[in-house]
Amino acid sequence: MTKNYLFDIETSGLDFFFHHILSIAVKDLETKEVKCFCGPDEKKILEEFWNYVEDGSNLISFNGDSFDIGALFKRCLFWKVRIKGFKSIDLRKTASGFWFSYNAHEKGKLSDWATLFGIPVKTSPGSEVPKLFMDGKWEDIKCHNIEDIELLEELYNRCDEIGLLKLNNYRR
């Protein structure tokens, strides 16, 4: 059986020739176990993440096809960290219907979905993670990353409940 993992990364910036992955949170949807690999040793974070997920799994993210996956690839290339096989499921595309009609100006940060669902966001916005990094606030970065996983799970459950995840098999 294919394993399903929710995952999210936090970074020191947006240019992966210069910036780093600071934290990767992952949740096994079968066991409900949450792991967060966080700290100043990027190579260790990447190795722990890939050692945790099973080969051939579904990696479910929010905006992962546009950001998280590329960041993982670039930083793994830099550190020579082996990547496992996986299928990417991007809930931003799923929830916004991007398969059928792409709108580059579509609203859709994860915090927007949390607001729509009436879920209070308790941690700093993701845009503040680079400052948290500069201030050495690793616990705050970890808390934000784990909160994003919980918001992602709510979006995943709603997409599954109304049948949007099944549409992934009918993409054009």
Q: What is the set of domains in the chain, with CATH numbers?
A: 4-170 (3.30.420.10)
pLDDT of residue 119: 84
What's residue 170's pLDDT? 47
pLDDT digit string (tens) for 2-56? 999 999 999 999 888 889 999 999 999 999 999 999 999 999 999 999 999 999 9
Instruction: Convert the pLDDT of each residue in 71-104 to its tens digit.
Output: 999 999 999 999 999 999 999 888 876 544 455 5
pLDDT: which is higher, 122 or 160: 160
Q: Among candidates 48, 49, 16, 38, which has minimal Cα distance to 136?
A: 38
Query: What confidence score (pLDDT) does residue 103 get?
Result: 56
* Cβ partners under 8 Å of residue 59, min gap 6: 5, 7, 53, 69, 86, 87, 88, 89
3-state SS string for the chain: CCCEEEEEEEECCCCCCCCCEEEEEEEECCCCCEEEEECCCHHHHHHHHHHHCCCCEEEEECCCCCCHHHHHHHHHHHHCCCCCCEEEEEHHHHHHCCCCCCCCCCCCCHHHHHHHHCCCCCCCCHHHHHHHHHCCCHHHHHHHHHHHHHHHHHHHHHHHHCCHHHHHHHCC
Q: What is the mean pLDDT of residues 104-127?
A: 78
Residue 167 has pLDDT above 70, yes or no: no
> Does the pLDDT value for residue 107 go beyond 70?
no
pTM of this structure: 0.90
- Three-class DSSP category at 66: coil
- Residue, of 108 and 1, whose pLDDT is higher: 1
